[in-house]
Amino acid sequence: MAYFDAASGAPLHPVARQALLASLDEGWADPARLYKEGRRARLLLDAAREAAADAVGCRPDELTFTSSGSRAVHTGIAGALAGRRRVGRHLIVSAVEHSSVLHSAEVHEAGGGTVTQVPVDRGGAVAVASYEAALRPDTALACLQSANHEVGTEQPVAKVARVCREADVPLLVDAAQSLGWGPVAGDWSLLAASAHKWGGPSGVGLLVVRKGVRFAAQGPVDERESGRAAGFENIPAIVAAVASLRAVRAEAAVQAVRLRELTELIRARVPRLVQDVEVVGDPARRLPGIVTFSCLYVDGETLLHELDREGFSVSSGSSCTSSTLTPSHVLKAMGVLSEGNVRVSLPPGTPEEEVERFLSVLPGAVAAVREKLGAPAATTPARPGGEALVVDALGKRCPIPVIELAKVIGDVPVGGTVRVLSDDEAARLDIPAWCQMRGQEYVGEEPADAGSAYLVRRLS
Amino acid sequence: MAYFDAASGAPLHPVARQALLASLDEGWADPARLYKEGRRARLLLDAAREAAADAVGCRPDELTFTSSGSRAVHTGIAGALAGRRRVGRHLIVSAVEHSSVLHSAEVHEAGGGTVTQVPVDRGGAVAVASYEAALRPDTALACLQSANHEVGTEQPVAKVARVCREADVPLLVDAAQSLGWGPVAGDWSLLAASAHKWGGPSGVGLLVVRKGVRFAAQGPVDERESGRAAGFENIPAIVAAVASLRAVRAEAAVQAVRLRELTELIRARVPRLVQDVEVVGDPARRLPGIVTFSCLYVDGETLLHELDREGFSVSSGSSCTSSTLTPSHVLKAMGVLSEGNVRVSLPPGTPEEEVERFLSVLPGAVAAVREKLGAPAATTPARPGGEALVVDALGKRCPIPVIELAKVIGDVPVGGTVRVLSDDEAARLDIPAWCQMRGQEYVGEEPADAGSAYLVRRLS
């Protein structure tokens, strides 16, 4: 088995495992107690906090341990917004943030706040100027991820931090995907991260609030973790998380070079091995281990099953994955193809042979899915004659509407149009993406009796 | 070393340790993923949920895992209050709930809700009639612990659940202290618990919401744990927690008999070994392992240090402990002496010899503290003559004001009064408690230029 989903969660690092075992014996007691077991637990917790602060680049008293990365984000956003309530209730987020940020933004909006979503380019990156333009006198907080979790694109955090600082607006950085690779550069104000992304155990997040940042923790709190994370501290897991962070940091430079080579290999080879593939994400400013591509005429969930059968555990932001029927908000914001989406995120130490084997089985897996779905061959010769065509794909799920479109495009004369009727949310993203990949013109969307009509003009 | 603070947190049960180790290898992946590692994690999570539900006596889909017992309480109370917002915003809690419940109540009050605190008797128990009387047409939720964490008193949960059910008000039970001993009887609606109280790892709580209970999770949530606990599930810790619950339950009947004998021994012997001690908590309806007593003329923190030096790790609800200078809200609500408070909570398997050794060192430890503080001998003969006396204890911390009072009472003629001036919060509790223990009359409190004046009349 090859586990290629490190961006979801990494298996426990051997160093973390060792630290966890040792601190199960030493760190189980209440660190608030004055007796021996409590003092021992307190020492472990203090040492872990210092080491974590050192890795982040902050003061120990600026760092609190939370019960997860999501919780760190929720607590950080709510506390920063409340702390600056007098300034205003405007929140800025990028369109490609992790769901924990976007859920917080939804809650803020439902409570009467306003939210600006900063768009991204086709590579998934925000423009510094867009953040600058979004800043207002009533902006309480801006949020930006250090790097995207679905496509690996790195964001210009240091520059965005500078424009925020100039406007006296705190910037919260979701560093979940990048903290294992190195500290976040720039003059940010708050930072959130998640230990199981860097090989620590589940159940540990970090929240850093720089001195001087107005912060008012929301909801019931207690005296633990500076009143920012209620409940008994999970010291063995915290110790293991920090041990793992130090261990992956020590290997980071070497692993970054290795993984970058491997993902470069995938980026370069996949489009040659598989027809009708779009590799997404910024080709240069990206995390070492993540590479994402989408395959036309493919149902992502079925492809994941095929790859799982071949022994590869990968993830998908495709509209067709089981948990949700809407396309990934990240791919949508980037305006790229969402169907047949595959995210490969390599854990440190991945052997090259596994990547080679992945590349050798991928074409067959994609072909198998396309065959099942009756996808058209890559090129269909144009037939003469024909007129404005209507493809009724109502009730059909991604990637069927695009497959139906591809099947008939050859019947349309150059200059002629096709109307695709679809009530599938993914079609809105994937039909324009197909046009771009195929060099056809996407004319636009019109309301229809049921769903929408997507107009495509044949150019070649 | 003898660890006698199981009510704060128990060391990891050997079965939990084994389960944790096994599931670190099997359960680290994202249970929402469809690939092999994800499916394996999902299987572990589902099995743990079924086993936990079985131990609680609920349906698996009524039970969610949270990141701590405090978090389970916070989420449960906020969700139940929001779910019944149309009914009203009245919340009922007992005066001796865990701080996580009282903090939730404070947040509710700060947000415009109303809270009724139901009083307890001198043994720490609520009266069913008091809950019945507190119920109103706009009551959204009532909360009651299954047993008290400081004094071990069991609450009449089943009967309170019945009166709540008759009024169509859901009852949330904080079962943190009792779930390891057995399921909570009665027709309650919500239940919260904490794994590290029964020998599970830190970082795992349980929240049960019965079908039919209106519940609206508050704050940002995601698709995990029925939308009631955001963030990656901590499956190894969950598996370990549930394994431990099953293990302690299997031993519960035998351990309950043993621990009850040992705490009975302490209850009976301490007042004979140490003068001026009040054993607090219900003598009969109590948890097997907890016994609490307060020592007159003793500073709790210093006593804890003495006992720690002798190798005993115990806790204190005393006003004199380091983290807070106000007396324990539990002892205050019970109206018992708070100074020199010691809570002994025995973990299952405590050997009788350790308890005997504790009883052998306790008198010396108390005497050492009293000597340091210059406490009066147990009996001071009355001196003739004298008139209304004033003791100025301003600026002096517990237990000094009571010690000063005890030193002069012999100078007061029977029928005469003493005014104790004090600005220490604990004096309000401890001077009346001293009067009760000494058979003197507590006349009352009056405002003074600084602090308060406490009037005591000598009766004998």
Q: How high is the ipTM of this complex?
A: 0.87
Instruction: Note the pTM of the prediction, 2 decimals.
Output: 0.89
Structure-model confidence comparison of residues B155 and B9, the more confident one: B155
CA angle B350, B354, B355 (to 5 degrees): 85
Chain B contact present for A446, CB below 8 A: no
Domain identity same for B396 and B418: yes
**What tokens appear for A398 in the block?**
């991604």
Which residues of B are less than 8 Å from A304 in CB distance? 34-35
Structure-model confidence comparison of residues B223 and A394, the more confident one: A394
Assigned domain for A438 exists: yes
Rounded CA gap, A270 and A291, in Å?
10
pLDDT digits 0-9 by tens, B81-120: 999 999 999 999 999 999 999 999 999 999 999 999 999 9
Mapped onto helix, strand or coil, the DSSP state of residue B370 is: helix
In single-letter form, the type of residue at position A108 comes to: H
| CA dihedral of residues A40, A44, A46, A49 (deg, nearest 10) | -170
Which residues of B are less than 8 Å from A28 in CB distance? 9, 11-12, 196, 201-202
Assigned domain for B368 exists: yes
pLDDT band at B325 (very low <50, low <70, confident <90, very high): low
Interface of A with B in 87-106 (CB under 8 A): 99-100, 103-104, 106
pLDDT mean over B220-243: 88
Domain identity same for A106 and A230: yes
Q: Which residues contact A405 (CB under 8 A, 6 or more apart)?
A: A391, A393, A418, A420, A431, A434, A456
pLDDT digits 0-9 by tens, A269-300: 999 999 999 999 999 999 999 999 999 999 88
Tell me the pLDDT of chain A averaged across its residues: 92
What CATH number is given to the structural domain containing A361? Answer: 3.90.1150.10
Does the beta-carbon distance from A308 to B36 stay under 8 Å? yes
pLDDT digits 0-9 by tens, A112-126: 999 999 999 999 999
Domain identity same for B338 and B410: no
What pLDDT does residue A1 have?
77
Q: Which of B58, B320, B398, B435 is catalytic?
A: B320
What CATH number is given to the structural domain containing B193? Answer: 3.40.640.10
Domain identity same for A76 and A180: yes
- Of the three residues A204, A231, A248, the one that is the final residue of a domain is A248
The total of structural domains in chain A comes to 3
Domain identity same for A31 and A172: yes
pLDDT digits 0-9 by tens, A63-87: 999 999 999 999 999 999 999 999 9
What pLDDT does residue B290 have?
96
Interface of A with B in 16-55 (CB under 8 A): 17, 20-21, 24, 28-30, 32-38
CA angle B198, B203, B208 (to 5 degrees): 70
Domain identity same for A107 and A192: yes
Does the beta-carbon distance from B29 to A194 stay under 8 Å? no
What pLDDT does residue A320 have?
42
Cα–Cα separations (whole angstroms), residue A97 to A164, A321, B158? 17, 19, 47
Does the beta-carbon distance from A304 to B29 stay under 8 Å? no
Does the beta-carbon distance from B313 to A233 stay under 8 Å? no
Does the beta-carbon distance from A67 to B69 stay under 8 Å? no
Residue pairs spanning A and B at CB distance below 8 A? 200
Domain membership of residue B426 as a residue range: 389-457
What is the distance in angstroms between the Cα of A285 and the nearest Cα belonging to chain B? 27
Assigned domain for A207 exists: yes
Assigned domain for A380 exists: no
Domain identity same for B105 and B243: yes
pLDDT digits 0-9 by tens, B248-304: 999 999 999 999 999 999 999 999 999 999 999 999 999 999 999 999 999 888 899
Q: Are A103 and A93 in contact (CB under 8 A)?
A: no
Domain identity same for B94 and B122: yes
Domain identity same for B207 and B317: no
Does the beta-carbon distance from B34 to A194 stay under 8 Å? no
In single-letter form, the type of residue at position B21 comes to: L
β-pairing, B290-295 with B341-345? antiparallel
Q: Which of A113, A144, A140, A146 is nearest to A130 (CA)?
A: A144
What string of H, E and C letters represents the secondary structure of B95-146? CCCCHHHHHHHHHHHHCCCEEEEECCCCCCCCCHHHHHHHCCCCEEEEEEEC
Rounded CA gap, B106 and B112, in Å?
10
pLDDT digits 0-9 by tens, A232-256: 889 999 999 999 999 999 999 999 9
- Of the three residues A248, A268, A303, the one that is the final residue of a domain is A248
Interface of B with A in 170-229 (CB under 8 A): 194, 196, 201-203, 205, 219-223
Does the beta-carbon distance from B202 to A308 stay under 8 Å? no
Assigned domain for B4 exists: no
What pLDDT does residue A68 have?
94
Mapped onto helix, strand or coil, the DSSP state of residue A135 is: coil
Which residues of B are less than 8 Å from A70 in CB distance? 220, 222, 230-232
Does the beta-carbon distance from B194 to A5 stay under 8 Å? no
CA angle A156, A159, A163 (to 5 degrees): 130
Assigned domain for B301 exists: yes
Nearest CA in chain A to B306: A35
Q: Is A58 a catalytic residue?
A: no
What pLDDT does residue A345 have?
96
Assigned domain for A38 exists: yes
Q: Is the confidence at residue A226, as pLDDT, over 90?
A: no
What is the distance in angstroms between the Cα of A102 and the nearest Cα belonging to chain B? 9
Does the beta-carbon distance from B315 to A107 stay under 8 Å? no
pLDDT band at A387 (very low <50, low <70, confident <90, very high): low
What pLDDT does residue B221 have?
80
pLDDT band at B386 (very low <50, low <70, confident <90, very high): very low
H or E element at residue A22: helix A14-26
Which residues of A are less than 8 Å from B230 in CB distance? 68, 70-71, 74, 100, 103
pLDDT band at A326 (very low <50, low <70, confident <90, very high): low
Assigned domain for A2 exists: no
Q: Closest CB to A231: pick one of B67, B233, B236.
A: B67
Q: Which of B263, B258, B276 is nearest to B344 (CA)?
A: B263
Does the beta-carbon distance from B202 to A237 stay under 8 Å? yes
Nearest CA in chain B to A199: B28
Domain identity same for A75 and A212: yes
- Of the three residues A214, A248, A282, the one that is the final residue of a domain is A248
Q: Which of A58, A295, A320, A435 is catalytic?
A: A320
Q: Closest CB to A28: pick one of B11, B222, B301.
A: B11
Domain identity same for A41 and A185: yes
**What tokens appear for A399 in the block?**
């990637």
Structure-model confidence comparison of residues B299 and B68, the more confident one: B68
Domain identity same for B169 and B139: yes
Phi and psi for B315 in degrees, rounded to 5? -115, 175
Mapped onto helix, strand or coil, the DSSP state of residue A261 is: helix
